[in-house]
Chains A and B, each alone.
Chain A
Amino acid sequence: MSATFTRSQFETACKAYIRVHNASGQTSATAFRPDGWTWSDHNSTIARPGFMHRSALLPLNPVRSLEIGSEEDVSGVSSPIDESVVAANTPILIASEQHVVYSPTFQVPTFYFTMYNSSGAPLTLDQILISPLFHPHSLANAEATSFALTEPGSSFPLLSQGDHPVLGTPSWYLHPCHTAEAVVELMAESPRGDESEERTLVRWMETWFMVLGQVVNLRYRS
């Protein structure tokens, strides 16, 4: 298995991954495999290749940090006393659209995502970093600006803002520059002799999710 994908291998890998891991649901015997993905062709052409996507809901921690801003008092509404309603103690939710898109430059999958609060407004980088999408401490030393996060000594920002390569919408992404090395190193640890190419591609994706899972908490989904 080479270190990188061609575009058609990427599509095969994603579709095979979805088939294998969405059908069964989570089986506790194996390692965690993020599921709930669907393949989107999006009028697929060379210029607009397909991608894998899913939605996720996450509770916000800590709860108070996501003020939407002060509202003016325009209530004009009175409510009868209602003992049959639970005192609201559900967490504030944030929603995340997650995409796995092919990077033609690095020839590996790239993780793109958007995050917004319950009003539909996008989260700032600071809010994203304290959200449960990222493992605490996994980004502890990185330098954050309003639009990117860079690890010390790294020539590339780890997390930055850019247009979704297929949809063209503003999005966040994790830079794919070191993906191939990490995945290949891990896959070399468990070489399989005579497995089908599709099985290898699925294993590549599983390993990629494992690498991604070091930084991103992929257990949330909706």
Chain B
Amino acid sequence: MPIVQFAPFSSLVQPAFWHALTDLKIDVLRLSDEAIPVSGSYSSGRSVKDRETGTEIALGCNLSVGGEAFQTAVQAPSHSVPVTGVFKNFNTIEEFKAADKTALFNSIADEIWNSIVVDRSTALLTRFLLITFADLKKYKYYYWFAFPAFVAKPAWEIDGEWKPAGEEFDDDTLSTIQSHVQTSPTPFFLIRPSQKCGVPEIASLEQYDEFFANVSPEQRTIAFLDPSALSTNPGWPLRNLLAFLRTVHPAYTYRVLCWRDAELPVSGAWKSRFGVVHQGTGELAKDAETTKPAAVGWEKNVQGKLGPRMADLAPMMDPTRLANQAVDLNLKLMRWRILPALDLEKVANTRCLLLGAGTLGCYVARTLMGWGVRTITFVDSARVSFSNPVRQPLFEFEDCLHGGKPKAACAADRLKKIFPGVNSTGHNLSIPMPGHPIPSGSTEQTRKDVQTLEKLIDEHDAVFLLMDSRESRWLPTLLGAAKGKIVMNAALGFDTFLVMRHGARASSATAGGTRLGCYYCNDIVAPADSLTDRTLDQMCTVTRPGLASIAASTAVELLVSLLQHPEGINAPAPPPQSGSGTSGDAQASESVLGIVPHQLRGFLAQFRNLLITGAAFDRCTGCSEMIIRAYEEQGFEMLLKAFNEQGYLEALSGLDKLHDEGEAALESVDWDEDEGEDDF
């Protein structure tokens, strides 16, 4: 006689269960690891036909827990029966590992055993245990189910084999049972043939004695809702049901109906199984009532070993990851619909250093985030003041209190608040400037500041010059040129702005094309102190309020166009604007986003933008080879001279000679006004 082999339960956890556990842990349990009630459900086993082979695949023997698992008075889903269990959440993974699992398991087994021998009830036969550790920071949930079942000694055996229910019962009987189970699903029930004629009768297990009183053993049928769909293996609930029967209603054999037909069969083939089982020798157990049998039932993990399972719900629950996906999706839509060739990864991976966290810096940062840029670093030495928040969209009134927060760090924090996926930092740093001599006591601090700036520029791909003075742009212009970085420059006048990209260094620029200039190439004076002896309106950024966001957005879009151009930093400027349309020559210089101008000058008074291309100047105080080489050879000493000695840069670049030669000729030229005023 073959031994009956039962199909164990497999846990099926719905995502809603983890949401419910998260809420319960945070709002109710907190640090408590008390055992609390939990509920789940199972339904009759299902199978599907495999498309390729045509064979039936049994879909497991599932016990499912969902979002309502911790609620009292749960209604099981249709065709399902509810089961209750004990839930215990541990506070640390160590406690979870070290927990006395055998004791927990045995306490449930004891409960089940007592329900049999003391209460003589079937209510707790399918009780289960669930232990968890919820790592709520990483949205990882470790869990382990146990479905305790008593081991019969000797084992249950089947007379012959399990056969289709249709071979034992007629269609009318089975249809009656189907309709009964559909209306009121119960885990276990009894069946006897009609006492008169017609339909069979159905009763609960608790009515066993009276219901079967005048029924011969060959006509007594014990049925259970069978979660297994395997043809030769009844589901797990039958084990404890048989333990119950052996103890409470001893018999030599039991006729068992494994009920698996949630719906009327399509072609008359009932899926339910029937078999007659007995214990090994066919004798009645005598000491069964007093001795609790051993119990088994820890669920194996996906590797088929005894051990806990883990659910990683970060992709679904971690708001940061959800935001990340959403940001990417939004940008990718651009690629799907308009620009299939757009290289978004290149934009997203461009590390941007923003020198200045004021009006321009705030708007530049926000537009960069819109493009999916993930590394944004601010440098600023000021604190947030009361005039800032209305014009600088990363600051709020609270940031101005108590002397104001440092702007760079405050802006970086705010970016993370807007989008946690961004990698933003702020550095409180003042950038030394030519014409602003360093007091000898501050030389060491300046040396450190310069080192910090050098390091920051090394660590980024694009440097934005967004400061509020002209001369503070000199050092980063030089460093950016020396290190071959993309340098973007934006400056504001009252109703005019300048946005430009600096050309590549002469020694690394591609041969042939015109090398594009930097901020200082058009100047024939070296940067000097422009802040001292100015009135307040000259020193502050007095500009039309909309100008900063226009200039900032233009600067970011110019960077993105440059990044999309195959030649990148060496992208040629478009030829001078020739009325309407782009010539063939212009198209050659375009990226997928269009042309990559060198400079844009915006005039708000006329609502007009002008594209300008300015060639590099070989005696420029910012980017000429002489200056860069001097910096590379002498390092900080050269910079110190530039900060302290008036005329040093002019002499180094040869600008002074040019100055002398051309002084007379230049006297009549009105060149100084517009460039100088753009900065303030």
User: A residues touching B (Cβ–Cβ < 8 Å)?
Assistant: 25-28, 57-59, 66-80, 82-86, 88, 90-93, 95, 114, 116, 118-122, 124, 132, 145, 147-148, 150, 155-157, 160-162, 170, 217, 219-220, 222
Establish whether residues A71 and B266, one from each chain, have CB atoms under 8 Å apart when the complex forms.
no
Establish whether residues A76 and B101, one from each chain, have CB atoms under 8 Å apart when the complex forms.
yes
Sample 14 A-B pairs with CB under 8 A, ordered by A number. A57-B12, A57-B46, A67-B302, A68-B311, A74-B93, A74-B308, A75-B307, A83-B155, A84-B3, A84-B155, A90-B10, A116-B15, A118-B13, A118-B309
Contacts A83-B155, A120-B14 known; A93 to B306 CB distance under 8 Å? no
Establish whether residues B60 and A120, one from each chain, have CB atoms under 8 Å apart when the complex forms.
no
Smallest Cβ-Cβ distance to B152: which chain A residue:
A84
Cβ of A129 to closest chain B Cβ, rounded Å: 16
Establish whether residues B18 and A120, one from each chain, have CB atoms under 8 Å apart when the complex forms.
yes
Establish whether residues A25 and B263, one from each chain, have CB atoms under 8 Å apart when the complex forms.
yes
Establish whether residues B264 and A25, one from each chain, have CB atoms under 8 Å apart when the complex forms.
yes
- Residue among A90, A114, A124, A219 facing the most chain B CB atoms (10 A cut-off): A90
Segment among B32-40, B293-301, B360-368, B404-412 that sits at the interface with chain A: B293-301
Query: B57, B61, B296, B332: which contacts A82 (Cβ < 8 A)?
Result: B296
Smallest Cβ-Cβ distance to B340: which chain A residue:
A155
Query: A69, A86, A114: which contacts B310 (Cβ < 8 A)?
Result: A69
Establish whether residues A90 and B61, one from each chain, have CB atoms under 8 Å apart when the complex forms.
yes
Cβ of A124 to closest chain B Cβ, rounded Å: 8
Bound Cα distance A155, B155 (Å): 64
Contacts A27-B266, A76-B101 known; A118 to B296 CB distance under 8 Å? no
Establish whether residues A91 and B59, one from each chain, have CB atoms under 8 Å apart when the complex forms.
yes
Contacts A84-B152, A121-B312 known; A79 to B307 CB distance under 8 Å? no
Beyond A69-B310, A119-B143, list 8 extra A-B contacts (CB 8 Å).
A28-B267, A70-B303, A76-B102, A83-B5, A85-B8, A86-B8, A91-B60, A120-B313
Establish whether residues B155 and A160, one from each chain, have CB atoms under 8 Å apart when the complex forms.
no
Query: B50, B230, B308: which contacts A71 (Cβ < 8 A)?
Result: B308
Contacts A147-B328, A155-B337 known; A84 to B5 CB distance under 8 Å? yes
User: B residues touching A (Cβ–Cβ < 8 Å)?
Assistant: 3-8, 10-15, 17-18, 43, 46, 48, 50-51, 57-62, 93, 96-99, 101-102, 105, 141-143, 151-152, 155-156, 230, 233, 239, 263-264, 266-267, 294, 296, 298, 300-313, 315-316, 322, 325, 328-329, 332, 336-337
Establish whether residues A122 and B307, one from each chain, have CB atoms under 8 Å apart when the complex forms.
no
Residues of B within 8 A of A71 (CB): 142, 301, 303, 307-310
- Residue among B11, B13, B93, B298 facing the most chain A CB atoms (10 A cut-off): B13
Interface of B (DSSP majority class): mixed
Residues of B within 8 A of A90 (CB): 7, 10, 58-61, 230
Bound Cα distance A77, B71 (Å): 30
Query: A25, A68, A80, A119: which contacts B266 (Cβ < 8 A)?
Result: A25
Smallest Cβ-Cβ distance to A92: which chain B residue:
B302
Cβ of A178 to closest chain B Cβ, rounded Å: 15
Establish whether residues A74 and B97, one from each chain, have CB atoms under 8 Å apart when the complex forms.
yes
Establish whether residues B298 and A79, one from each chain, have CB atoms under 8 Å apart when the complex forms.
yes
Residues of A within 8 A of B263 (CB): 25
Query: A57, A66, A157: which contacts B336 (Cβ < 8 A)?
Result: A157
Residues of B within 8 A of A77 (CB): 101-102, 105, 298, 306
Query: A27, A75, A119, A145: which contacts B13 (Cβ < 8 A)?
Result: A119
- Residue among B93, B302, B307, B309 facing the most chain A CB atoms (10 A cut-off): B302
Cβ of B340 to closest chain A Cβ, rounded Å: 9
Bound Cα distance A217, B51 (Å): 10
Establish whether residues B57 and A59, one from each chain, have CB atoms under 8 Å apart when the complex forms.
yes
Residues of B within 8 A of A70 (CB): 303
Cβ of A66 to closest chain B Cβ, rounded Å: 7
Residues of A within 8 A of B17 (CB): 120
Establish whether residues A93 and B18, one from each chain, have CB atoms under 8 Å apart when the complex forms.
no
Bound Cα distance A83, B48 (Å): 28
Establish whether residues B329 and A80, one from each chain, have CB atoms under 8 Å apart when the complex forms.
no
Smallest Cβ-Cβ distance to A220: which chain B residue:
B48
Cβ of A159 to closest chain B Cβ, rounded Å: 13
Establish whether residues A74 and B307, one from each chain, have CB atoms under 8 Å apart when the complex forms.
yes
Query: B48, B155, B308, B336: which contacts A150 (Cβ < 8 A)?
Result: B336
Bound Cα distance A222, B96 (Å): 33
Residues of A within 8 A of B8 (CB): 85-86, 88
Cβ of A184 to closest chain B Cβ, rounded Å: 25
Residues of B within 8 A of A219 (CB): 48
Smallest Cβ-Cβ distance to B311: which chain A residue:
A119
Contacts A85-B6, A121-B313 known; A73 to B307 CB distance under 8 Å? yes
Cβ of B345 to closest chain A Cβ, rounded Å: 11
Bound Cα distance A147, B110 (Å): 49
Establish whether residues A59 and B59, one from each chain, have CB atoms under 8 Å apart when the complex forms.
yes
Smallest Cβ-Cβ distance to A38: which chain B residue:
B78
Contacts A74-B96, A76-B101 known; A88 to B312 CB distance under 8 Å? no
Bound Cα distance A82, B148 (Å): 12
Residues of B within 8 A of A122 (CB): 15, 313, 315-316
Query: B7, B98, B102: which contacts A86 (Cβ < 8 A)?
Result: B7
Residues of B within 8 A of A156 (CB): 336
Query: A74, A76, A93, A147: which contacts B59 (Cβ < 8 A)?
Result: A93
Establish whether residues B15 and A120, one from each chain, have CB atoms under 8 Å apart when the complex forms.
yes
Establish whether residues B264 and A91, one from each chain, have CB atoms under 8 Å apart when the complex forms.
no
